[in-house]
Amino acid sequence: MQFPVNIIDSFQKELPADPNHENTRRQVFKACFSYVTPKKPSNPNLLHSSPDLLETLGLTDFSKTADFLKVFSGEKLIPGTHPYAMCYGGHQFGNWAGQLGDGRAINLTEIEHHHKSWVLQLKGAGETPYSRTADGLAVLRSSVREYLCSEAMYHLGVPTTRALSLVTTGDQVLRDVLYNGHPAYEKGAVVCRVSPSFLRFGNYELLAANQDIHTLQKLVDYTLIHHFSHLGEASVETYLQFFTEVADRTLEMVIEWQRVGFVHGVMNTDNMSILGLTIDYGPYGWLEGYDPNWTPNTTDSAHKRYKFGTQPQIALWNLVKLANALFPLIKDASLLETILEETYQRIEVSYSAMMRKKIGLTFQKDEDKKLIKELTDVLQESETDMTIFFRLLSGYQNETITKGVELVKAAFYRASEIEDDVKEKWTRWFISYAKRLQEEDINFEERKKVMNTVNPKYVLRNYMVQLAIDAANQEDTTVLNELFTLLQNPCEEQPEQEKWFAKRPEWARNRVGCSMLSCSS
């Protein structure tokens, strides 16, 4: 096989490996990863690959060869490579869970193209030493969700890991979707995920929890050299700058989630990338009606720890856990606390700046906070579609103030409810908004243009991905293709695709997979 790009494999070469090469489940100490070979699929079939990412990686020509499917389904190894699973722990739903690790992710190799390095990782390619009680496999349903959403997020400008290919394996996988004692077979699938690194907060946490400070330092130094080299040589000062930058990036990522209405669903520390990338697309969802209390994850329905409205605060909680893990290298808690305190202060500032952009304000005034609060309050008075509302708002010309409610009417799930009190609140809000807009220098056309780059027209609504899954399960990839193409340009007008600029249909309101998702994947 001619694999056309440079293999670098720095992680394996520079960090300690688990000496045990058997694929048995175990606790691993003093190591960052374990070697493991992907499971061979019985009858692999390529459903989709991302042309944009193929190009970025220098794999476009390779994707036209028969070896492409073999490599990215796990059937054949890239010559000279030694796949491995990463060792990490994590705090799950607020509690330390100990060792977790890549239970169904296998890093094939790390490549370099145009001076950038990328790790190619198969998700769902069989068990690893970290599979614990599970099978290491993934079903088509969750793989379509991860594949479409990571590429959609990328094109929305949200920091994220990417997805290169989606393959069905030809194997059956047993899953109990609702955890209610009704397991059924589903189609198995493998997604190739791509990222400069798949390191998570949990990688550092596990080494600190095991009091393996030697390996912890090696891992932090590795991370600095390969991913934060602009910070300079390792020192306590650099470690602090590193933590500051991870905090900045993490906050930036979550504020972007708030911009587009994305709810991750499982913000455990093992699902927090050290590079501030959205990672591990599981029971995520998109806000339809604007509701800060919403989470798609049924596993979290009682406490709603990971609901939309508290994602920034949870990011901070996770950063506290990372700070604890880095403490042995810094040995001065007050320095870490200062960074955390500054991050806490910035949540409000970053959130307000993002919301100002969403409503087309180009500079900051004290009263903007109130204007934004009044908007997010009234948005919840009656179910109002977040994406449609903000998109339509860009059409607002202040000289026609009374038409505000009329303009955004298509965003209301029950327009008949916009009466009396609620209508009054909306009218009052539009009056304040119009007044504020008059202080802006930017004209209507310019404002509209800018707002339309911040407020997407098309997002991967929960029911849309479900339609793609239903069809793919029947061997039909038309919807998958259509959505993939649509979401490459989420902020552009696509008149022939107007049907996707619509509220969630009623059938999807309470359907499993659309509004309710479990961790079963």
Give CA–CA dist 515/521, Å, rounded: 16
Q: Which is nearer to ligand AMP, 105 or 375 (CB)?
A: 105
Give CA–CA dist 174/184, Å, rounded: 5
Residue 490 partner contact from Mg ion, ligand AMP, none using kind-dependent CB cut-offs of 5 to 8 Å: none
131 part of the interface to Mg ion, by CB under 5 A: no
Q: What is the DSSP letter of 77?
A: P
By the 8 A CB rule, do 75 and 192 touch?
Answer: no
Q: Which is nearer to ligand AMP, 276 or 289 (CB)?
A: 276
Smallest gap from Cβ 278 to Mg ion, in A, equals 12
| Pairing relationship of beta strands 285-286 and 89-92 according to DSSP bridges | unpaired
Residue 68 partner contact from ligand AMP, Mg ion, none using kind-dependent CB cut-offs of 5 to 8 Å: none
By the 8 A CB rule, do 263 and 285 touch?
Answer: yes
Binding mask 267-286 for Mg ion (x = CB under 5 A): ----x--------x------
Kindly state the number of chain residues that form the binding site for Mg ion, as judged by CB under 5 A: 2
291 part of the interface to Mg ion, by CB under 5 A: no
14-50 burial code (b ≥16 CB/10 A, e <16): ebbbbeeeebeeeebeebbbbbbbbbebeebeebbbb
Smallest gap from Cβ 195 to ligand AMP, in A, equals 15
Give CA–CA dist 346/335, Å, rounded: 17
Tokens 């050299």 found at: 225
Smallest gap from Cβ 99 to Mg ion, in A, equals 13
Q: Identify the active-site residue in 9, 270, 280, 300.
A: 270
Q: Which is nearer to Mg ion, 81 or 160 (CB)?
A: 160
C-alpha 160: how far from chain center: 6
Helices and strands: H and E segment counts in the chain: 16, 13
DSSP code per residue over 144-173: HHHHHHHHHHHHHT--B-EEEEEEEEEEEE
Q: Which is nearer to ligand AMP, 135 or 368 (CB)?
A: 135
128 part of the interface to Mg ion, by CB under 5 A: no
Residue of this chain nearest to ligand AMP (CB atom) = 103
Nearest to 68 by CA among 84, 44, 85: 44
Q: Which is nearer to Mg ion, 269 or 452 (CB)?
A: 269
Which residues bind to ligand AMP, rule: CB under 6 A?
A: 100-104, 130-131, 134-137, 266, 270-271, 280, 282, 519
Smallest gap from Cβ 47 to ligand AMP, in A, equals 20
Give CA–CA dist 411/391, Å, rounded: 9
Smallest gap from Cβ 13 to ligand AMP, in A, equals 24
Q: Which is nearer to ligand AMP, 282 or 312 (CB)?
A: 282
Residue 143 partner contact from ligand AMP, Mg ion, none using kind-dependent CB cut-offs of 5 to 8 Å: none
150 part of the interface to Mg ion, by CB under 5 A: no
146 part of the interface to Mg ion, by CB under 5 A: no
The piece of 149-157, 187-195, 264-272, 473-481 that touches Mg ion (CB under 5 A) is 264-272
427: amino acid identity, one letter: T
Residue of this chain nearest to Mg ion (CB atom) = 280
Residue 246 partner contact from Mg ion, ligand AMP, none using kind-dependent CB cut-offs of 5 to 8 Å: none
270 is catalytic: yes
Residue 100 partner contact from ligand AMP, Mg ion, none using kind-dependent CB cut-offs of 5 to 8 Å: ligand AMP
Phi, psi (deg, nearest 5) at residue 92: -110, 125
Residue 137 partner contact from ligand AMP, Mg ion, none using kind-dependent CB cut-offs of 5 to 8 Å: ligand AMP
C-alpha 371: how far from chain center: 29
Give CA–CA dist 405/52, Å, rounded: 40
Give CA–CA dist 135/183, Å, rounded: 14
Phi, psi (deg, nearest 5) at residue 441: -85, -25
Smallest gap from Cβ 368 to ligand AMP, in A, equals 37
SS3 62: helix
256 part of the interface to Mg ion, by CB under 5 A: no
Long-range contacts formed by 230-238: CB under 8 A, 24+ apart:
236/329, 236/330, 236/331, 236/332
356: amino acid identity, one letter: R
Q: Which is nearer to ligand AMP, 163 or 359 (CB)?
A: 163
Q: Which is nearer to Mg ion, 105 or 247 (CB)?
A: 105
Phi, psi (deg, nearest 5) at residue 185: -80, 140
Smallest gap from Cβ 320 to ligand AMP, in A, equals 20
Smallest gap from Cβ 394 to Mg ion, in A, equals 36
121 part of the interface to Mg ion, by CB under 5 A: no
Nearest to 74 by CA among 101, 106, 102, 50: 106
Residue 134 partner contact from ligand AMP, Mg ion, none using kind-dependent CB cut-offs of 5 to 8 Å: ligand AMP
Residue 102 partner contact from Mg ion, ligand AMP, none using kind-dependent CB cut-offs of 5 to 8 Å: ligand AMP
Give CA–CA dist 119/114, Å, rounded: 14
- The residues assigned a catalytic role are 270
Q: Which residues bind Mg ion (CB under 5 A)?
A: 271, 280
